[in-house]
Structure 1
Amino acid sequence: MQKQKYSVNQYLVESLLNWVKSGEIAIPEIQRPFVWTAARVRDFMDSLYKGYPVGYVIAWRNPDVRTKDGKTASGKKILIDGQQRITALRAAILGERVLNKHYEKGRITIAFHPLEDKFEVSNPAIARDAQWIPDIAPLVSGHEGLLQAHPRYMGANPSADPDKVAQAMTNLTNISKRQVGMIELEHDLDIEEVTEIFIRINSKGVVLSQADFAMSKIAAETRYEGPNLRKAIDYFCHMAVSPEIHEAVVRNDDEFTDTHYYKNIRWMKDETDDLYDPSYVDVMRVAFTSEFNRGRLADLVSLLSGRNFEARTYEEEIAADSFDRLGKSFTRLSNETNFKRFLMIIRSAGFIRPQMIRSRNAINFAYIVFLKLRAMGHRPEDIERFVRRWFVMTVLTERSSGAFETRFEADIKAIASRDFSEVLATVEAGSLSDAFWDVSLVQSLSKSSSNSPIFWAFIASQVKAGDTGFLSRDIRVSDLVQLRGDIHHIFPKDYLKKSGFKRGDYNQIANFVYMQTEINIGVGNKSPVQYFGEIMDQSNGGKRRYGNIASNEELSDNLAMHAIPASVIEMDAGSYSSFLDERRRLMASKMRAYYESL
């Protein structure tokens, strides 16, 4: 018979709140913004008041840990689903302030109308209306008793039915006696089992990632400065996107601003570069893999719990060491010099805008390589070259797709144990053979999407080469990318549609090019043979209609920059397929030269 993996129990609201206050239940998201609206908190209180079901919360108990003196410390319960409901209870019943999306702390005050059995979000008008109890927190939490509240209310509302008011107030105080279901998962379940149970229970289809579990573990462990590390990761990621929240952090979180973590990330308040704005999942993966030489985030959860993989026990020393190492790794990751040098390297490879980076795994592992090589003492110039090549190699070969954690682990273990130049050479020999450049990459260019990582790698090759835009003499591809210029079709879309081609045909990667809008307007829906005829006339002293190209030599150079066959000037719809084949080969050849120059 298979072991039961969880238990289901009903607990009083007041018991849950007491456990949260005592730390027996850890709320991993408490320092993050509260996403429920005040109206939803009101409705939640109304459901509890009327005895309606309010759903289950899910807790996963940390394993018991063997301490240094040989004793056993019981693990806390970590709330992995139900944070918003528990936070709503704390806000409405205990009167605690919560963070909004702007990282400002404030009250969510819920009012109650005893004569109408009605809840509402409190406001100044309600506060002036004697028939309302403007804040339910004192009464429900027990800070104010019925013996005080009832006479005061009746004094302000002498015509009210005293029995009705008394009954309504009694029902209100009984909210704290209502029961909430808790599903308690066994401590010895692995992450995959916990995730599967969560998915099956959660009707909203929400999926918890391994990073969510790791963040929950971090926030729950007060012995090793876990809450501050959790805040540091969260604030770092939010300031990367919205630097202005720094003011709210300083204003609302004195405890955190006294930590070394804050001093290390406060530079983000002035950071406006959006090339790489890591999420907490990205941060966890980079910090963990670069420090622990492991690729599976599930292993981080185990290590933070104190898992001894060989003895299959949980030990305090391992947990303490894992928290210390993760904290130091995050500090290196979020260091201003490291972060900016890494971005400089990525830019030097031609990837200058965030939309060019289509794979988070690729840039995450590139940062892992950067941090690892820095820690191993490699020369700065070697680090730049190695990181550029590894990142572009990963993009071109889609090395970070599919079962990437297995690949991450194999790669980081090789990097940690061997000379990096040997590791890179081995990977290149296996992944970037002549067959790759001549066949595989050419096939990859047959996709019909301008969002393809391969397409953006080609654009990066143009940026690095300093190429000008299609049919432009002075405006560079880098200018068009930076200024969000337009991607257009060499064979105009409307022209191909009228010639019977479908979307998957005319939106081929090999038909895309960065072009100034005014040049594209001039091209309109003309066939290449038609508009290139006009350009040839322009190159021989005729009227200028397309950019400033003024000679056949300039035109030839421009076509070569964009890996466009010279024969395009004589092509129409009947030549489109052969054009695509030839341009794919030229694009692959240009990318090979680009890679070998890195």
Structure 2
Amino acid sequence: MEKTERDIQTLVGQISSGEIKLPEIQRGYVWKPTQVAKLIESLYRGYPTGSLLFWRTAESPATRSVAIGGQQANPAVQPLFLLDGQQRLTSLHRVLNDHSEAQIVFNVETEAFQNQSAATAKDPRWIKVYELARVGAQQYQLISTMQAALPRLDPNLIGERLGRLAAIRNRAFHMEILAEFPYEEIAQIFVRVNSGRPLKTSDLALATLSARWSGVLQKLEDEADHWAQQHYQDLDVTFLTRALTGTVLGRGLSTWSHGRLVAASDEELEKGWATVQRGLRHLIPLLRENLKVSNSNLIPSHVALLPLIVLLGEHPDTGLDAETANGIIYWFLLANLRNRYSSSTDTRLGQDIPAARGPEPVKKLLSNLGVNGAHFEVTPQDLIGRTVGSPYFFLSFLAAKNAGARDWWYSTEISATAEAGQKLEYHHIHPQATLRNHKKDYSKTEINDLANLAFISAKANRKISDRSPGEYFVDPKPPLLTEEELAAHFVPYDESLRHADAYRDFLNARRTLLARAMTELLDRFRPAWMDETAVVSDPLAGCSLEFTLYQSSWDAGRIVVNAKREDDEWTGTFGFADLESVIEAANGGLDSDLEIAGEPVPVRTESDTVTIPIGPFLASGTIDAWRKTLEREKADAQPLSRCPVVEPRPWEGERLLFPVTSIE
């Protein structure tokens, strides 16, 4: 290992000249402007910014492009391959070359850094870092201009601060250079270097695959582009990496996956990739044409696609009979409804992928779900407390789509691929404005209940605005809604249910209509060999979990939890900042504790899934799903002064798995 130092200006120049390249094992550039601004501030203040790790080799490994907004030149010397430090060096190159997404500015008065905005562009206190730190910058002229614009500031202070900012290009990074290592070993080093960081298992798996199979990244990116053009943009490189590794390993990703991928033969990888491509080209048309899933963002769990990719990718080259095709769709719907992969994803894929490869795969998959030989019926009780994060939301769209539901402005059939004013939105039939602070004290969960949501265009939503259905259902101007048009959305026509006082009666009536339509849709795909007498119910029927954040400008605040399970109701509290901390710890792969209702409970992390015991439930979901929940609560935060006093009541008894996407 060689050790040396180089300044930022030199390193940035080497990126442009192609003397620093990215091996294919690297993930893509992911930093946001806020992170770039913090890096520049750290350099300005003289804070540590870490070292860089490179690889020098006589080989010509596959590379990926650097996200600098242009092509690198062909190097005149042997290049170095960057293993650790991509985000930092790419960010610095962007700032020092005036990249449109790295317009970092500096406030000479407050010494703050941020991305350029309309306000900072008009404020003379802000100067673009590029103007000072770029090669050939006229520092003295800039200082004079700034002094003239800010006469109240000490000229010497302005000069000192701008000089310090300009000097960041001369800051040196410590470099370690690995030489004479083969690609396979470099991949192992890359995995180990990144294993203690918030790098996802799919990133590490891709790094391992890149070392084993040159050119795999290009294959994945080309496939992702193909599906993005067909509105299946969620079948991205990360998803395809999971699909390929799942096909090769026969289970989900875990810490042992990387060693097993290294041992995989070229034949196994080629065969696995052929299975993924063939499986997708059979599965997506089946979902799109038979189930009307025209956009991948409708699908609650993309993991549920993986066993079906294997099933269809390895299916003999014979016709697919209607019974099997329907059974595949039926399993897919039930796997989403029963939150099959909301926790223990690796374990469950380890059951379902082998099942997809065995004899009678549909029967075996349904057996793994616990519904083989039974009739799954959606009841109004199942829909209580369900909101946009629930898989029943997905099912309600499919039911409306299959019923020929039309938009309430354009009269076109609702479409998940519509654009501009016709872009699909979910609309509160009874507007939130008339339900909040109502004398009947409707809860947040009731207001956002699935039974209060309809799918209409953005323009129709704006036209209706906050009007009551008692008004806009009968408005003579568009949208004039007939009984037939409302029925296609499963909206009861009863005039007595159009006013806020009768809102709970409206919810009950619409749940009945929705449940019947959902069951009929499921029955369309249920294989004929399944027993119609044995009925399987949803284990979460009648359950709900609601968060309410109480916060102030000086206090991160507390979340009050209200949980309902069967006839029991539980209330508890925990610190909002504490929840943020455990989610970030989980992002680094660490388990931790969270104090809820006066006692610490264990927070468990498996891959990117976090499970937290909250009252009668084990709330489980991906890190991204938890983060979205946190952001939603911050947006809906109530004043801390309204926070109720809740006596600690630790939960005693068994807990039921509850998906975080269904938390209201």
TM class by shorter chain equals 0.5 to 0.7
Q: Distance in 2 between matches of 1:514 and 1:351?
A: 14
Amino acid at match of 2:464: I
Given that residues 32 and 234 in structure 1 are in contact (C-alpha distance below 8 angstroms), is that contact kept between their aligned partners in structure 2? no
Q: Distance in 1 between matches of 2:27 and 2:365?
A: 42
Q: Distance in 1 between matches of 2:89 and 2:28?
A: 13
Alpha carbons of structure 1 residues 523 and 305: separation in structure 2 relative to 1, 3 Å: closer
1:339-376 superposed Cα distances (whole Å, 9 cap, x missing partner): 7x624533431222344223332345544443243x57
- Structure 1 residue corresponding to 2:217, chosen from 230, 239, 262: 230
1:396-442 superposed Cα distances (whole Å, 9 cap, x missing partner): 222221222211110111121221242255356627955x525xx64
Q: Secondary structure at the match of 1:488?
A: strand
- Structure 2 residue corresponding to 1:359, chosen from 288, 301, 312: 301
Alpha carbons of structure 1 residues 401 and 544: separation in structure 2 relative to 1, 3 Å: same
Structure-2 residue corresponding to 1:422 = 363
- Structure 1 residue corresponding to 2:502, chosen from 556, 561, 575: 575
Given that residues 29 and 83 in structure 1 are in contact (C-alpha distance below 8 angstroms), is that contact kept between their aligned partners in structure 2? no
Structure-1 residue corresponding to 2:515 = 588
Q: Distance in 2 between matches of 1:32 and 1:186?
A: 18
Superposed displacement of residue 209, structure 1? 1.0
1:14-413 pair list within 5 angstroms: 27-28=23-24, 32=28, 53-57=48-52, 81-85=84-88, 179-180=174-175, 197-198=196-197, 207-219=198-210, 221=211, 224-225=213-214, 228-237=215-224, 241=228, 271=229, 273-306=230-263, 318-329=264-275, 332=278, 338=281, 342-343=284-285, 345-373=287-315, 377=318, 379=320, 381=322, 384-413=325-354
Q: Secondary structure at the match of 1:430?
A: coil
Point out the structure with the larger strand share: 2
Alpha carbons of structure 1 residues 466 and 589: separation in structure 2 relative to 1, 3 Å: same
Q: Distance in 2 between matches of 1:33 and 1:186?
A: 20
- Structure 1 residue corresponding to 2:429, chosen from 487, 490, 515: 490
Q: Secondary structure at the match of 1:362?
A: helix
Amino acid at match of 1:490: I
1:153-175 superposed Cα distances (whole Å, 9 cap, x missing partner): xxxxxxxxxxxxxxxxxx99x99
Superposed displacement of residue 195, structure 1? 6.8
Alpha carbons of structure 1 residues 88 and 593: separation in structure 2 relative to 1, 3 Å: closer
Q: Distance in 1 between matches of 2:434 and 2:30?
A: 52
Given that residues 458 and 591 in structure 1 are in contact (C-alpha distance below 8 angstroms), is that contact kept between their aligned partners in structure 2? yes
Structure-1 residue corresponding to 2:644 = none
Q: Distance in 2 between matches of 1:347 and 1:466?
A: 15
Given that residues 296 and 405 in structure 1 are in contact (C-alpha distance below 8 angstroms), is that contact kept between their aligned partners in structure 2? yes
Q: Distance in 2 between matches of 1:451 and 1:216?
A: 32
Q: Distance in 2 between matches of 1:90 and 1:486?
A: 40
Superposed displacement of residue 595, structure 1? 1.2
Q: Secondary structure at the match of 1:514?
A: strand
1:461-540 pair list within 5 angstroms: 461-468=399-406, 475-479=411-415, 482=418, 483-497=422-436, 498-502=438-442, 503-515=444-456, 517=460, 521=464, 524-525=467-468, 527=470
Which deviates more, 496-505 or 413-422? 496-505
Q: Distance in 2 between matches of 1:419 and 1:507?
A: 41
Q: Distance in 1 between matches of 2:491 and 2:306?
A: 33
Which deviates more, 456-465 or 362-371? 362-371
Q: Distance in 2 between matches of 1:379 and 1:402?
A: 32
Amino acid at match of 2:344: A
Q: Distance in 1 between matches of 2:450 and 2:462?
A: 20
Structure-1 residue corresponding to 2:587 = none
Given that residues 227 and 235 in structure 2 are in contact (C-alpha distance below 8 angstroms), is that contact kept between their aligned partners in structure 1? yes
Superposed displacement of residue 379, structure 1? 2.0
1:2-37 superposed Cα distances (whole Å, 9 cap, x missing partner): xxxxxx9966669xx9xx9xxxx9844569569699
Given that residues 311 and 361 in structure 2 are in contact (C-alpha distance below 8 angstroms), is that contact kept between their aligned partners in structure 1? no
Q: Distance in 1 between matches of 2:94 and 2:413?
A: 53
Given that residues 11 and 180 in structure 1 are in contact (C-alpha distance below 8 angstroms), is that contact kept between their aligned partners in structure 2? yes
Given that residues 55 and 181 in structure 1 are in contact (C-alpha distance below 8 angstroms), is that contact kept between their aligned partners in structure 2? no
Structure-2 residue corresponding to 1:250 = none
Say which one has the larger Rg. Answer: 1
Alpha carbons of structure 1 residues 489 and 378: separation in structure 2 relative to 1, 3 Å: same
Unpaired segments ≥5 residues, structure 2? 16-20, 56-79, 102-128, 141-166, 179-184, 526-664
Q: Distance in 2 between matches of 1:485 and 1:234?
A: 28
Given that residues 58 and 79 in structure 1 are in contact (C-alpha distance below 8 angstroms), is that contact kept between their aligned partners in structure 2? yes
Which deviates more, 516-525 or 477-486? 516-525
